[in-house]
């Protein structure tokens, strides 16, 4: 079996092994179903919630908030990362504040955003943006700094400069690094959206998680929502990884 096939099959095999272990433990009765529901019950809850319940619209709400946050973070983070890579003054000015923004947990920011902005999508989008902008800035700055200076100098000799150099040479070459930052950021954005929905209101998966808690906790429902979040994270990761691979191939050709 080739190395590429092993890399593709390894996560599938690991996932199946986890499910098999879960199934065996649930069947054995070692752990009560209240704490660890049977996979079949979780699957039935997931299917019912997706087809007749609120899981499908909730997933759409969470993706919308996370996607908007990631988009705003990219619009802000890519130019700032470029500026940090090009200017030591900009790096020393904004670097400490970017690092400080990651030291404050999302749960602490959420109540403040509710006071400043209000409940709902706008405040959740801002929270997601704050979480995502740091990895986008850092990955963009690293991608620009690691460019081959001989290629840049050759482009300048050919007359490229300013916007043309950025658009045609620097950004295409740095795109794999930028996409890696966006991939990491989008995962954080999903987390931020869920936390925001639990604290700041909304109709997304965070609200669905909150609905499964309490004195009458529906553990199967919680597992079903978590399964949707895992599926979302894996799908986004794979899509952005594919974009990175395409960018690498285009850069090499």
**55 within domain boundaries:** yes
**44 within domain boundaries:** no
As for how many domains the chain has, the answer is 2
Share of the chain above pLDDT 90, in %: 25
Considering the domain architecture, whether residues 20 and 54 belong to the same structural domain is answered as no
Considering the domain architecture, whether residues 10 and 81 belong to the same structural domain is answered as no
More confidently predicted of 128 and 167? 128
pLDDT tens track for 40-53: 999 999 999 899 88
**38 within domain boundaries:** no
DSSP alpha helix (H) spans, the chain: 3-28, 39-51, 55-86, 88-103, 106-116, 121-145, 149-157, 163-165, 171-200, 205-211, 219-252
Considering the domain architecture, whether residues 63 and 21 belong to the same structural domain is answered as no
Considering the domain architecture, whether residues 164 and 237 belong to the same structural domain is answered as yes
- Over the chain, what is the mean pLDDT? 84
pLDDT tens track for 128-144: 998 899 899 999 999 98
Average pLDDT over residues 193-219: 79
Considering the domain architecture, whether residues 126 and 233 belong to the same structural domain is answered as yes
Q: What pLDDT was estimated at residue 215?
A: 46
Per this entry, what is the length of the chain?
Answer: 253
Q: What pLDDT was estimated at residue 253?
A: 56
**115 within domain boundaries:** yes
pLDDT tens track for 173-194: 888 888 888 888 888 889 889 9
Considering the domain architecture, whether residues 141 and 215 belong to the same structural domain is answered as yes
Q: What pLDDT was estimated at residue 136?
A: 92
Of 212, 15, 18, 229, whose CA–CA distance to 26 is shortest? 18
**211 within domain boundaries:** yes
Of 105, 167, 168, whose CA–CA distance to 131 is shortest? 105
Which stretch of 116-120, 193-197, 228-232, 241-245 has the lowest confidence by average pLDDT? 241-245
Q: What pLDDT was estimated at residue 2?
A: 61
More confidently predicted of 148 and 116? 116
Six-digit token string for 188: 């954080």
d(CA 212, CA 226): 11
**120 within domain boundaries:** yes
**Can you give the pTM of this predicted structure?**
0.82
- Look at residue 252 and tell me whether its pLDDT is greater than 60: no
Considering the domain architecture, whether residues 163 and 220 belong to the same structural domain is answered as yes
**165 within domain boundaries:** yes
Average pLDDT over residues 101-105: 77
Considering the domain architecture, whether residues 27 and 88 belong to the same structural domain is answered as no
Q: What pLDDT was estimated at residue 217?
A: 65
**43 within domain boundaries:** no
| DSSP summary character for residue 53 | S
pLDDT tens track for 17-73: 988 999 999 888 888 888 889 999 999 999 998 998 889 999 999 999 999 999 999
242 and 176 in contact (C-beta within 8 Å)? Answer: no
Residue 18: give the domain boundaries: 1-31
Considering the domain architecture, whether residues 15 and 67 belong to the same structural domain is answered as no
Considering the domain architecture, whether residues 120 and 209 belong to the same structural domain is answered as yes
Who contacts 175 (Cβ-Cβ below 8 Å, separation ≥6)? 143, 247, 251
Considering the domain architecture, whether residues 70 and 157 belong to the same structural domain is answered as yes
Considering the domain architecture, whether residues 12 and 123 belong to the same structural domain is answered as no
> What CATH number does the domain containing 102 carry?
1.10.3720.10
């Amino acid at each position: 079996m080739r190395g590429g096939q092993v890399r593709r099959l390894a996560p599938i095999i690991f996932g199946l092994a986890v499910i098999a272990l879960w199934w065996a433990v649930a069947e054995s009765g070692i752990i009560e179903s209240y704490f660890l529901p049977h996979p079949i019950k979780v699957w039935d809850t997931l299917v019912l919630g997706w087809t007749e319940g609120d899981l499908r619209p909730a997933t759409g709400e969470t993706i919308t908030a996370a996607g908007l946050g990631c988009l705003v973070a990219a619009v802000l983070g890519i130019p700032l990362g470029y500026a940090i890579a090009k200017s030591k003054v900009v790096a020393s000015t904004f670097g400490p504040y970017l690092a400080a923004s990651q030291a404050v947990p999302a749960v602490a920011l959420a109540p403040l955003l509710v006071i400043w902005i209000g409940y709902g999508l706008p405040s959740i989008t801002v929270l997601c943006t704050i979480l995502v902008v740091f990895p986008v800035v850092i990955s963009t700055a690293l991608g620009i700094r690691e460019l081959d200076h001989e290629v840049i100098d050759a482009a300048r000799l050919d007359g490229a400069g300013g916007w043309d150099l950025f658009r045609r040479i620097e950004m295409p070459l740095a795109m794999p690094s930028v996409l890696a930052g966006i991939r990491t950021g989008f995962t954080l954005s999903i987390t931020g959206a869920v936390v925001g929905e639990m604290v700041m209101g909304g109709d997304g998966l965070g609200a669905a998680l909150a609905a499964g808690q309490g004195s009458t906790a529906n553990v199967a429902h919680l597992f079903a929502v978590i399964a949707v979040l895992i599926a979302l994270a894996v799908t986004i990761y794979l899509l952005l990884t594919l974009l990175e691979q395409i960018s690498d191939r285009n850069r090499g050709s």
